[in-house]
Chains A and B, each alone.
Chain A
Amino acid sequence: GAGVSQTPSNKVTEKGKYVELRCDPISGHTALYWYRQSLGQGPEFLIYFQGTGAADDSGLPNDRFFAVRPEGSVSTLKIQRTERGDSAVYLCASSPGTSGGKSGELFFGEGSRLTVL
């Protein structure tokens, strides 16, 4: 497809379970971002990849959260021992430039809605 693809679109899990969320960016985009958005709030930065490496992971809330991008394309956000407070929409975005947002816009996917019961 032409846009950023995120799967699953919805995920319901139980407290304490492990979850993986996948992001397939626009082909050729070198920068990839993960954000988290709670109801009524703006997107909150989690982590940014430039190619395969995490250039900035300062937004990850704790060590239960981890993200990878092994081949510089698809990325997976992994959440261990989920808690009810992890419930949110997880947004992925990609950007074509080597300098991320400063090259212009971010292209967002539709998000993965995570509900932890």
Chain B
Amino acid sequence: SQKIEQNSEALNIQEGKTATLTCNYTNYSPAYLQWYRQDPGRGPVFLLLIRENEKEKRKERLKVTFDTTLKQSLFHITASQPADSATYLCALDLYNTDKLIFGTGTRLQVFP
């Protein structure tokens, strides 16, 4: 069956450390993979998009990797801050459709 898996348990890290979140998928062939941030009671907000032929993408303190062999994306936040605390969602953009398929999200908590 088709699945997108993100760690359902919250990730708790100390301020200043690097947070690494994982997105694994099975039986999908994504053209793109996107990462979104969602705060409680708010809609998701786009962060980064990476194409299947790109290994890595960076934006300020954010870095995303995409390994289509492992069927995995890693999302890194360096020098994390308490303001980075939120739920992070990965989403697959498939070749044969224009809809995004979302994972369940991972909640990140950054402690001062």
A106 and B100 within 8 A (CB): yes
A33 and B44 within 8 A (CB): no
A residues 89-114 touching B (CB-CB < 8 Å): 91, 93, 99-102, 104-111
B43 and A48 within 8 A (CB): no
Chain B residues with Cβ below 8 Å from A33 are 99-100
Chain A residues with Cβ below 8 Å from B31 are 102
B98 and A105 within 8 A (CB): no
Taking chain B's interface residues, is the majority helix, strand, or loop, or is none over half, making it mixed? Answer: strand
- Residues on A lying within 8 angstroms of B by beta carbon are 4, 31, 33, 35, 40-45, 48, 50, 55-56, 59, 91, 93, 99-102, 104-111
- Is B46 an interface residue when CB atoms closer than 8 A count as contact? yes
Chain A residues with Cβ below 8 Å from B104 are 40-42
Closest A residue to B48 by beta carbon equals: A105
